[in-house]
Amino acid sequence: MMENWHVLLEETVGFGRESYRWVLTKVARCEDRDDARKRAYALAKEYEPEHPMSPRGRRIFQVGNDTWVVQVPGATADFHFRVSAALMLVELDKKGEIGSAG
């Protein structure tokens, strides 16, 4: 079975403190693990998140072999997002049966 690598992007979306949500905003299929890691790290360096509206830089932390957390300080608050290279292990249909993930 062929491996099924993706890039995942998780971040805070919404406006107003009461409506912020942590959401998986991007799932992109990649050729292999190396491709997924390169694309994930590029997103960590270049992605412009919805929050903060006035970013003052970024700090990139590698928290695992395939995962980066990016802290983005803003004018009034700091935000962060997470980028991961991930192997999809299984895809289930609505009945809980295995779909075609590979």
Stronger pLDDT, 50 or 7, i.e. the higher one: 7
Q: Does residue 9 have a pLDDT over 80?
A: yes
pLDDT at 1: 53
pLDDT, tens digit, for every residue of 22-77? Answer: 999 999 999 999 999 999 999 999 999 988 888 899 999 999 999 999 999 998 88
Q: Give the residue extent of every domain in the chain.
A: 5-87
SS3 content of the chain, % helix, strand, coil (to 5): 15, 40, 40
pLDDT at 88: 95
Distances in Å between the Cα of 89 and the Cα atoms of 36, 62, 67, 92 are 15, 23, 17, 10
Mean local confidence (pLDDT), 3-27: 91
pTM attached to this predicted model: 0.85
The predicted structure's pLDDT at residue 100: 56
